[in-house]
C-alpha cells in the first residue's frame, strides 16, 4: 500500500543544509497499522508528511496504492489526497469558523458531492465517533477529546484507504487517548483502513501491528 | 461548489466581525465616493432630456484667433457661427444661440435673478424639450424678432406665483416686453447647450452683434448619425482653411473644432490648442484620479487580506491536506472577497442614492437631479467587481502557494 525506497529529505536554506530523513525504506501492507516512534526532531512528522503527499522527497521513490507519485502536479496530488488519504493531526486543525458538520464535510466538498448526500455521509461519520449530537456546535464549544473525534470523522468521511495520524493522542489525557486509539483500531480492523501513526507513547504504539523507529532521520528498527 | 464558497464566505465574514467592519468601511467609502462622482459626471455628459439627441450632435463653443503678438480665445461671435458653422453640407440641422447669461429682472417690483439665452428656431428641433405649456418659438419668430419667450416652470413660479399658468403672460427684460409662448421643465446648469431659465429669439438682441467673429455665441450641428461626424468635421475644417480675418495684421490663425460635449469640456479645461488629444488627456486624468482614489483602499484591503491569510494558515493547510487544489483555494478566497465587496457595493449603492438625493434637494448644482440610474448601477457593479477581484486575487494566489506543511505549522492551535 505504501512503499518508500531510499527516500531522503534535505531542508536547505541559504547557509544550512539539514538532512531530515536519510535512506528510508519502508513497506506498509494494505490493512496494516504501523506506528512511527522516535525522539523529537528525528523526522517522524517529516516521514508522515511525505507519505501524505504534503511534502516531496529530495530523492528516492515513493509509491502509494501502486502509483509512483514523483511526477504528479498540484491537481493530481490534491485529487489523490482527497480520495485515498485521511489525516488526523495532533492539534486537531479544525476550522474554527465552521460548525462541526461543516468541518467534517470539507473533504467531500472537493469531490463535488451534492448537499444532501454530503450531509448524510458526514452525519454518519460523526455518528461513528459518537458525536452525532454535536453537529451544530462550533469546535471551540467541544473538549479536546471531542475535537479530535471530529477530526477523525473528517479524516474518514471520504472512506480513505490510508489514514495518517500525527500524534493523535498527543494533546489528550490518557483516558481520552485510549478512546481515540479504540476508534483507530475499529477503523483498522473493521474497515481495513491502512493506518500510519506517529506517536511518543509506547502504550499506544504497542497496540499497533508494527513499530518503525527513527533516530536522527535514520530508520533504526 | 460556488454555493459552498458563498456559504463559507458568509460564515467567515459573520464570525470575524471586526475585520468585516473595517473592510466594509473602506470598500463602502471608496465606492460611495466613486459612484457619486460617476453620477455627477453622468449627469453632465450622458445624453438626457433636453439633450437626448446629443449622441449625434457636435458643437462649436470656443474659438481662438492667434497672431504674432496676440491670442484671443472666447466664444465665437455671430458672424463666425453664421458663416462657418451654419448649413454644413450633410448636417440634419444647425442651431445658433448665445450663452446663458445671468440677468436681473424686475417683475412687479420684485428683483429676480435669472439666466437668459437667445436662440434660433432650430434650437427647439435639436433639443427635445418637453413642453409643460404651449410650445417653442419658431424660425419665423426669430426672423421677425418677435418678443416671445420660453421659460422654465421654476421661472413661471417666480414670475407668476405657484400653480399659475404662464401662457400669454408677459415680463420685461432690459426694457423689452416678452410674451410667454412655452414653459419647459428646469434644466440642470451642467447642460452646456440646454441650460437656461428664459429663452428668447436671437434677433431680439439689442445692438450690433452680426459682424463679430468673437462674441457670446455657440452653434450645434445635428448629424443624421454619429458616423457622419468625420465628414462634418472635414467640411468644417475646409471652411476654416478659407477663414477671412477681420484684422489680418494681428491675427493669422484660427483654432476651433466641432466637439462633442465631452470634447468641448476637454477644450475648456485643457485649452484650445490643436496639438494635443484633449479628450484622451481628460479621460486619462479622470481615470488616473479614480485609480489613485481606489488604489489606497485596495492596497489596504490587500494588506488586511494578507494578514488574514496568516490567521487562516491552519485552514489552508487542512484544505490542502483534504484535497483542495491551488485553483480551488484561489476560487474560494476570491469568492470571499467578492462577497465582501458585493455587500460593500450594496451598502454603497444605498448610501450613494441617499447622498445624491440630498445633493439634489440642496440644489448645490442648480436644477440638477442626480440619481443612481442603471448606468451608474452598472459602473458601481464594475467598480465593486474590480475592487473585489484586484484586492482578492493577489492574496489568494499567495495563499494557494503556501506550502501545506508550513500552513499547518503556522496554524497550530
DSSP string, A131-146: -GGGTTS-GGGS-HHH
Average pLDDT estimate for B192-209:
94
What pLDDT is stored for residue B22 in this prediction? 84
Average pLDDT estimate for B316-334:
89
Q: How far apart are CA A34 and CA A208, in angstroms?
A: 6
Cβ contact B336:B12 at 8 Å = yes
Average pLDDT estimate for B140-161:
96
Q: How far apart are CA B193 and CA B261, in angstroms?
A: 9
Give this complex's ipTM. 0.93
Burial B305-327 (b: 16+ CB within 10 A, else e): beebbeebbbbbbbbbbbbbbbe
Cβ contact B126:B117 at 8 Å = no
What pLDDT is stored for residue B338 in this prediction? 84
Contact A78 B324 (CB under 8 A): yes
What pLDDT is stored for residue B1 in this prediction? 67
Q: How far apart are CA A20 and CA A8, in angstroms?
A: 8
The average confidence (pLDDT) of chain B is: 89
Residue A195 has pLDDT above 90, yes or no: yes
- pLDDT one-digit tens code per residue, B103-144: 999 998 899 999 999 999 999 999 999 999 999 999 999 999
Beta strand A218-219 with A210-215 is antiparallel
Given B1, B403, B411, which is nearest A112 (Cβ)?
B1
What pLDDT is stored for residue B14 in this prediction? 80
Helix A100-109, helix B2-15: angle, nearest 10: 150
What residues contact residue A28 under an 8 Å CB cut-off, 6+ apart?
Answer: A1, A2, A3, A34, A194, A196
What pLDDT is stored for residue B120 in this prediction? 96
B198, β-bridge pairs? B116, B151
Contact B322 A87 (CB under 8 A): yes
CA distances B46 to A29, B51, B55, B261, Å, are: 74, 9, 8, 9
> Which of A203-207, B309-313, B400-404 is predicted with the least confidence, judged by mean pLDDT?
B309-313
- pLDDT one-digit tens code per residue, A97-144: 889 999 999 999 888 788 889 999 999 999 988 999 999 999 999 999
Residue B412 has pLDDT above 50, yes or no: no
Cβ-Cβ contacts under 8 Å between A and B: the total is 77
The 3-state DSSP class for residue B199 equals strand
Cβ contact B155:B198 at 8 Å = yes
Residue A20 has pLDDT above 50, yes or no: yes
Q: How far apart are CA B63 and CA B73, in angstroms?
A: 6
Q: How far apart are CA A3 and CA B32, in angstroms?
A: 60
Residue A151 has pLDDT above 80, yes or no: yes
Count of CB atoms situated within 10 Å of the CB of B47: 13
CA distances B37 to A179, B59, B246, B293, Å, are: 64, 25, 44, 11
Average pLDDT estimate for A167-184:
89
Contact B320 A87 (CB under 8 A): no
pLDDT band at B369 (very low <50, low <70, confident <90, very high): confident
Which residue of B lies nearest to A97 if distances are taken between CA atoms? B12
What pLDDT is stored for residue B375 in this prediction? 75
Average pLDDT estimate for A56-77:
90
Cβ contact A42:A213 at 8 Å = no
What's the grid cell of residue A173? 489525557
What pLDDT is stored for residue B413 in this prediction? 36
What pLDDT is stored for residue A2 in this prediction? 94
Burial bucket for residue B66 (CB in 10 Å: 0-12, 13-18, 19+): middle
A8, β-bridge pairs? A59
What pLDDT is stored for residue B131 in this prediction? 97
CA dihedral A159, A160, A166, A170 (to 10 degrees): 10
Average pLDDT estimate for B167-180:
94
Helix B17-45, helix B374-401: angle, nearest 10: 140
Closest Cα to residue A97, out of B349, B365, B13? B13
pLDDT band at B367 (very low <50, low <70, confident <90, very high): confident
Which residue of A lies nearest to B14 if distances are taken between CA atoms? A97
The average confidence (pLDDT) of chain A is: 92
What pLDDT is stored for residue B411 in this prediction? 45
What's the grid cell of residue A190? 473493521
- pLDDT one-digit tens code per residue, B52-92: 999 999 999 999 999 988 888 999 999 999 999 998 999 99
pTM: 0.70
Cβ contact A63:A84 at 8 Å = no
What's the grid cell of residue B316? 489552508
Helices (H), B16-127: 17-45, 78-80, 123-126
Burial bucket for residue B45 (CB in 10 Å: 0-12, 13-18, 19+): middle
Contact A74 B314 (CB under 8 A): no
Residue B8 has pLDDT above 80, yes or no: no
Asked if B191 is an interface residue toward chain A (Cβ–Cβ < 8 A), one would say no
Q: Which residues of A touch B (CB under 8 A)?
A: 49, 52, 54-55, 74-75, 78-79, 81-83, 85, 87, 89, 91-98, 102, 106-107, 109-112, 115, 154, 158
Amino acid at each position: 500500500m505504501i512503499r518508500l525506497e531510499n527516500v531522503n529529505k534535505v531542508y536547505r536554506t541559504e547557509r544550512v543544509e539539514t538532512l531530515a530523513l536519510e535512506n528510508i525504506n519502508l513497506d506498509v501492507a494494505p490493512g496494516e497499522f504501523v506506528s512511527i516512534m522516535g525522539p523529537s526532531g528525528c523526522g517522524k512528522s517529516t516521514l508522515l508528511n511525505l507519505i501524505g503527499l504534503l511534502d516531496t522527497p529530495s530523492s528516492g521513490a515513493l509509491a502509494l496504492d501502486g502509483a509512483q507519485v514523483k511526477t504528479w502536479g498540484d491537481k493530481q496530488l490534491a485529487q489523490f489526497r482527497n480520495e485515498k488519504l485521511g489525516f488526523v493531526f495532533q492539534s486537531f486543525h479544525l476550522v474554527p469558523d465552521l460548525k462541526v458538520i461543516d468541518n467534517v464535510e470539507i473533504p467531500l466538498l472537493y469531490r463535488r458531492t451534492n448537499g444532501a448526500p454530503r450531509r448524510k455521509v458526514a452525519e454518519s461519520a460523526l455518528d461513528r465517533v459518537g458525536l452525532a449530537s454535536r453537529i451544530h456546535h462550533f469546535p471551540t464549544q467541544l473538549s479536546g477529546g471531542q475535537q479530535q473525534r471530529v477530526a477523525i470523522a473528517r479524516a474518514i468521511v471520504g472512506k480513505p484507504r490510508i489514514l495518517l495520524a500525527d500524534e493523535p493522542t498527543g494533546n489528550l489525557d490518557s483516558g481520552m487517548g485510549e478512546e481515540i486509539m479504540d476508534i483507530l483500531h475499529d477503523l483498522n480492523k473493521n474497515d481495513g483502513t491502512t493506518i500510519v501513526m506517529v506517536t511518543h507513547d509506547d502504550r499506544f504504539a504497542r497496540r499497533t501491528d508494527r513499530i518503525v523507529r527513527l533516530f536522527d532521520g535514520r530508520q533504526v528498527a | 461548489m460556488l454555493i459552498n464558497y458563498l456559504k463559507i464566505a458568509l460564515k467567515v465574514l459573520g464570525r470575524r466581525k471586526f475585520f468585516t467592519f473595517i473592510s466594509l468601511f473602506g470598500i463602502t467609502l471608496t465606492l460611495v465616493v466613486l459612484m457619486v462622482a460617476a453620477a455627477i459626471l453622468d449627469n453632465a455628459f450622458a445624453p438626457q432630456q433636453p439633450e437626448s439627441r446629443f449622441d449625434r450632435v457636435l458643437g462649436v463653443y470656443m474659438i481662438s484667433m492667434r497672431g504674432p503678438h496676440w491670442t484671443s480665445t472666447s466664444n465665437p461671435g455671430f458672424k463666425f457661427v453664421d458663416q462657418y458653422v451654419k448649413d454644413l453640407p450633410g448636417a440634419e440641422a444647425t442651431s445658433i444661440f448665445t450663452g446663458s447669461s445671468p440677468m436681473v429682472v424686475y417683475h412687479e417690483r420684485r428683483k429676480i435673478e435669472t439666466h437668459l439665452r437667445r436662440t434660433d428656431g432650430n434650437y427647439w428641433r435639436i433639443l427635445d424639450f418637453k413642453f409643460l405649456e404651449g410650445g417653442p418659438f419658431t424660425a419665423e419668430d426669430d426672423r421677425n424678432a418677435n418678443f416671445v419667450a420660453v421659460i422654465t416652470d421654476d421661472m413661471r413660479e417666480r414670475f407668476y406665483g405657484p400653480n399659475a399658468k404662464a401662457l400669454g403672460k408677459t415680463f420685461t427684460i432690459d426694457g423689452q416686453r416678452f410674451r410667454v409662448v412655452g414653459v419647459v421643465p428646469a434644466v440642470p446648469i451642467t447642460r452646456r447647450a440646454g441650460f437656461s431659465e428664459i429663452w428668447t429669439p436671437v434677433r431680439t438682441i439689442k445692438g450690433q452683434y452680426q459682424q463679430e467673429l468673437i462674441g457670446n455665441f455657440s452653434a450645434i450641428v445635428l448629424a443624421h448619425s454619429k458616423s457622419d461626424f468625420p465628414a462634418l468635421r472635414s467640411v468644417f475644417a475646409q471652411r476654416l482653411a478659407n477663414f477671412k480675418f477681420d484684422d489680418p495684421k494681428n491675427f493669422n490663425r484660427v483654432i476651433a473644432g466641432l466637439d462633442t460635449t465631452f470634447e468641448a469640456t476637454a477644450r475648456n479645461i485643457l485649452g484650445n490648442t490643436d496639438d494635443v488629444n484633449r479628450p484622451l488627456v481628460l479621460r486619462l486624468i479622470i481615470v488616473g484620479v479614480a485609480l489613485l482614489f481606489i488604489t489606497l483602499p485596495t492596497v489596504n484591503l490587500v494588506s488586511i487580506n494578507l494578514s488574514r491569510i496568516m490567521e487562516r494558515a491552519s485552514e489552508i493547510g487542512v484544505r490542502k491536506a483534504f484535497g483542495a487544489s491551488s485553483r480551488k483555494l484561489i476560487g474560494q478566497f476570491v469568492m470571499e472577497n467578492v462577497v465582501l465587496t458585493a455587500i460593500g457595493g450594496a451598502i454603497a449603492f444605498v448610501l450613494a442614492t441617499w447622498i445624491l438625493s440630498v445633493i439634489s434637494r440642496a440644489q448645490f448644482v442648480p436644477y440638477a437631479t442626480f440619481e443612481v440610474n442603471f448606468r451608474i448601477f452598472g459602473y458601481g457593479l464594475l467598480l465593486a467587481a474590480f475592487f473585489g477581484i484586484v484586492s482578492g486575487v493577489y492574496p489568494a494566489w499567495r495563499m494557494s502557494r503556501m506550502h501545506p506543511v508550513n500552513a499547518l505549522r503556522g496554524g497550530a492551535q
